[in-house]
Each structure stands twice: as structure tokens, then as C-alpha cells.
């Protein structure tokens, strides 16, 4: 049954400690590249600057439910409350601050919500199969069924099951 857990780890993204996000940590290469990509995308006119509003757009695209007041508080926390246009270094510093505050538990919850496409509070076999396919994992249906039975109850993996899977070593 160990091979099922291995596939489960691949699908669920768990147990790879290099992907955890402790507070105050350094950005991963992917995060750094994502910040640069977001900045370049928002700086469509190639001025080297983005607006406060564009910072808010970037943070929302990263899954932060920020409002204007949250952006103002973030700017203030970094001594940028009077800055209207943000250069890349400032933009990177502000986005990195938000990313470093995102907890591992928050990330696991967000991942579950992404997979729970029907919003039913649980992932069933069909959804698990879709996830495996979207990750280009060639896992036979029988193994996917085994994963559901191993990790979940009643043919479903609930958010609680998901969080338990993600927190195991």
C-alpha cells in the first residue's frame, strides 16, 4: 500500500518540506519568478513602476483577499504610505511580506478548495481522477479508489481528512 501513499503525496502535494512556507522565510525560486512575472505583466507600458491599485490586483491574484485598506496598511508597515508608484524592489518587498505571512495550514486549505471544484466540502473519486489527470499523473483508477478509501471516509476526502494527510510526515 506504500505506493498508494506515494501517489497520494504527489497528488496532494504534501510531505515535501521544501514546499512549506514558514513565517519569515526566504522566497522560493518559483515565488520570486512569480513576483517578477506579475510585475512585468502589470507594468504593461514598461515604465518600471506599478500603482497601488496594481499591487492590490497582484495580491488578489495570489489568493490574498485584500481590500484597499489592507494595501494601505501594508504600505504603511513598510514606510511606503506616501508612495504612489512602486518600483520592482518595493513591489517585491511588499508581495514577499504577504507571502511570508501565509501559513502552511492556509496553503493546505487553499489547495483543498482548488480541488473541491464543486464546493461540496469533500473530494470524491471523480475529482481525484481529474486532479491526477491535470497533474499528468498516470494512476490507474483502482489505485485512485484505494487512495480514497485509505485517506477518506464514505468514499470522500473531507477537508479534515485533507489537512490530516498534509500534516503527516
The predicted pLDDT at position 168 comes to: 66
Domain span at 148: 104-167
Q: What is the mean pLDDT of residues 45-63?
A: 92
**Is there a single domain that holds both residue 50 and residue 78?**
yes
The predicted pLDDT at position 115 comes to: 82
Q: How many domains does the chain have?
A: 2
pLDDT digits (tens, 9 = 90+) for 111-122: 888 888 788 889
**Is there a single domain that holds both residue 95 and residue 108?**
no
Q: How far apart are CA 123 and CA 152, in angstroms?
A: 9
**Is there a single domain that holds both residue 56 and residue 84?**
yes
**Is there a single domain that holds both residue 157 and residue 121?**
yes
CATH number (domain holding residue 72): 1.10.238.10
Please choose, from the candidates 12, 25, 16, 21, the residue with its C-alpha nearest in 3D space to the C-alpha of residue 148: 12
Of 75, 101, 127, the domain-final residue: 101
Task: Report the half-sphere exposure of 87 (CA within 13 A, side-chain side).
Answer: 1
Q: How far apart are CA 73 and CA 67, in angstroms?
A: 10
Please choose, from the candidates 150, 39, 135, the residue with its C-alpha nearest in 3D space to the C-alpha of residue 90: 39
**Is there a single domain that holds both residue 93 and residue 112?**
no
For the cut 60, the answer to whether the pLDDT of residue 15 exceeds it is no
For the cut 60, the answer to whether the pLDDT of residue 108 exceeds it is yes
Helices of type H across the chain = 2-12, 29-42, 52-61, 68-77, 88-101, 104-115, 125-134, 141-151, 159-167
| Confidence tier at 17 by pLDDT (50, 70, 90) | very low
For the cut 90, the answer to whether the pLDDT of residue 144 exceeds it is no
Amino acid at each position: 500500500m506504500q505506493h498508494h501513499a506515494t501517489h497520494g503525496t504527489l497528488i496532494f502535494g504534501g510531505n515535501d518540506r521544501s514546499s512549506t512556507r514558514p513565517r519569515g522565510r526566504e522566497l522560493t525560486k518559483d515565488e520570486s519568478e512569480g513576483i517578477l512575472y506579475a510585475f512585468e505583466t502589470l507594468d504593461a507600458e514598461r515604465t518600471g513602476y506599478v500603482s497601488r491599485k496594481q499591487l492590490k490586483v497582484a495580491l488578489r491574484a495570489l489568493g490574498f483577499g485584500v481590500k484597499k485598506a489592507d494595501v494601505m496598511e501594508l504600505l504603511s508597515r513598510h514606510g511606503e504610505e506616501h508612495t504612489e508608484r512602486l518600483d520592482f524592489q518595493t513591489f517585491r518587498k511588499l508581495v514577499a511580506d504577504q507571502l511570508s505571512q501565509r501559513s502552511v495550514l492556509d496553503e493546505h486549505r487553499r489547495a483543498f478548495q482548488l480541488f473541491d471544484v464543486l464546493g461540496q466540502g469533500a473530494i470524491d473519486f471523480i475529482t481525484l481522477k481529474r486532479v491526477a489527470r491535470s497533474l499528468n499523473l498516470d494512476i490507474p483508477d483502482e489505485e485512485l479508489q484505494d487512495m480514497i478509501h485509505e485517506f477518506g471516509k464514505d468514499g470522500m476526502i473531507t477537508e479534515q481528512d485533507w489537512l490530516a494527510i498534509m500534516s503527516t510526515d
